[in-house]
Amino acid sequence: MESGISISKKSFRNWKYFLNLVPITLVIYGNLTGGWFTLMNFLFTFAILGIAEIILPEDHTNDDIVDDELPEVLMFLSVLAQFLSISSLIFGVYTEIIRDNWILAAAISTGTSSGTLAIVVAHELIHRKEKTWNFAGRFLLFSVFNPYFYVHHLRIHHKFVGTDSDPVSAKFGENYYHYLIRSVSGQLKQSFQLEKKRCLSKGKSAFSIHNYILSCLIGYVLVLSILGYFAGWEVSLALLLQALFANILLEYTNYIEHYGLSRKDNERVDERHSWQSDKLISRFFLIDLSRHSDHHFHAAKPFNKLVSYANSPVLPGGYASMLLPALFPPLWFSLVNKKCKSIQD
């Protein structure tokens, strides 16, 4: 009986990850209702969660790891929820439940969920070796029109994080806007070069559907063209806008995860080369993405087994509360640069 109670208490950590489904539920409801309801998730994520993250305490617990089926169930539900989210946006705009300026509101709100659920879960799934889960991760990335993350994150970012060879690692003193352009262009360039090299090594044309980057781009054009022709160009525009916003959030996340942390080319990646945060909102609404130090230290470790390190650099706030400072470089630098210098010294 005592061990049963212990297991039940430990399982609570895995149940808390289901909070990740709350924003996308608001998105689907808003897209099927229209009007002001299309803004529900945007306001919930950036206002309510941002405030809650400041108020709520941190959770440094490392001894609550348990193996059960809940993380797998959550992954399945997350993939299904993203499909329903995108479908609800298409349906809402097509049936004119969402119209006029509310199309922009719905696209941004949906993109917020795509950036905080779809890409975060995709990040988890593309690290898995099982073909089904790996495909599900690539599907999630396809839903946000991201052709580079699957290639670059696995084959470049993890290998070169913190060095000049990795465009995803934000440099000390670099503002988010400069980083956004440098990071995306760098990832696209390096990913295409990798795919070109891979295709040629297999005797395939680098400029064909065998190139993952090109095949994705062709797929995006086809999807947008078919939707535009049969459902209206407002639908295609809404889908494109949600993807754009989701990827802006992805790059914001990349920015704060490694800002100013560098290492030598021959230095092993460890828990000191990524920022971590144990803020409750960031931990459980983003399936422990904020324990990023452990993710880079042990890349194959599932999200529900990531731990917090006492000697890892800690962000001044969580992912939700650091968004505003990142958008205002002087504020960001005042909060982070001192901590950054003390870590590097």
> Secondary structure of 307-324 in the HEC alphabet?
CCCCCCCECCCCCCCCHH
> What's the confidence (pLDDT) of residue 3?
42
Residue 4 lies in a domain: no
Contact 7, 66 (CB under 8 A): yes
Residues 6+ apart with CB under 8 A from 344: 172, 260, 261, 262
Q: Please give the torsion angle defined by the CA atoms of residues 99, 104, 105 and 107, in that order, rounded to the nearest 10 degrees.
A: 100
> What's the confidence (pLDDT) of residue 266?
84
Contact 122, 96 (CB under 8 A): no
Q: Which domain holds residue 32?
A: 11-344
Contact 305, 284 (CB under 8 A): no
Tokens 């109670």, residue located: 5
Residue 271 lies in a domain: yes
Taken in order 101, 320, 184, 112, the sign of the CA dihedral is negative
Helix (H, G, I), strand (E, B) or coil at 58: strand
Contact 114, 93 (CB under 8 A): no
Residue 296 lies in a domain: yes
Residue 264 lies in a domain: yes
> What's the confidence (pLDDT) of residue 128?
95
Residue 1 lies in a domain: no
Residue 169 lies in a domain: yes
> What's the confidence (pLDDT) of residue 211?
96
Domain count of the chain?
A: 1
Residues 6+ apart with CB under 8 A from 133: 75, 125
> What's the confidence (pLDDT) of residue 331?
97
Contact 290, 277 (CB under 8 A): yes
* pLDDT tens series, the chain, 345 aa: 344 434 455 578 999 999 999 999 999 999 999 999 999 999 999 999 999 999 999 999 998 999 899 999 999 999 999 999 999 999 999 999 999 999 999 999 999 999 999 999 999 999 999 999 999 999 999 999 999 999 999 999 999 999 999 999 999 999 999 999 999 999 999 999 999 999 999 999 999 999 999 999 999 999 999 999 999 999 999 999 999 999 999 999 999 999 999 998 888 998 989 999 999 999 999 999 999 999 999 998 999 999 999 999 999 999 999 999 999 999 999 999 999 888 766
Q: Does the global pTM surpass 0.85?
A: yes
Residue 3 lies in a domain: no
Residue 64 lies in a domain: yes
